[in-house]
């Protein structure tokens, strides 16, 4: 939920409340960003392992073909 929308859902009357909501939203966004980054690198690692496996299979097939 965006900061503007979240602020409109709350009856924000003081700068302190706005500041608290702002930092909560920033924390939530940072957590989401970290989760996305973690997921990206997990998929990246899996793809690298699959590519490495395929390269090994190709080398194995090449060596069997030359024998």
Cβ proximity of 6 and 25 under 8 Å = yes
For 29, half-sphere exposure in the C-beta direction (CA atoms, 13 angstrom radius) is 9
Question: Does the predicted model carry a pTM greater than 0.75?
Answer: no
- 4 has pLDDT over 60: no
Q: How far apart are CA 40 and CA 49, in angstroms?
A: 14
Task: Look at the alpha carbons of 55, 60, 61, 63 in this order and tell me if their dihedral is positive or negative.
Answer: positive
pLDDT tens sequence across 30-39: 999 999 999 9
What is the pLDDT, as a whole number, of residue 3? Answer: 53
pLDDT tens sequence across 39-61: 999 999 999 999 999 999 999 99
What is the pLDDT, as a whole number, of residue 14? Answer: 67
């Amino acid at each position: 939920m965006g900061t503007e929308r979240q602020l409109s859902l709350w009856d924000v009357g003081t700068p302190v409340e706005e500041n608290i909501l702002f930092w909560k939203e920033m924390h939530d966004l940072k957590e989401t960003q970290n989760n996305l980054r973690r997921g990206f690198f997990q998929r990246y690692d899996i793809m690298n392992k699959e590519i490495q496996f395929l390269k090994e299979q190709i080398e194995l097939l090449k060596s069997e073909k030359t024998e």
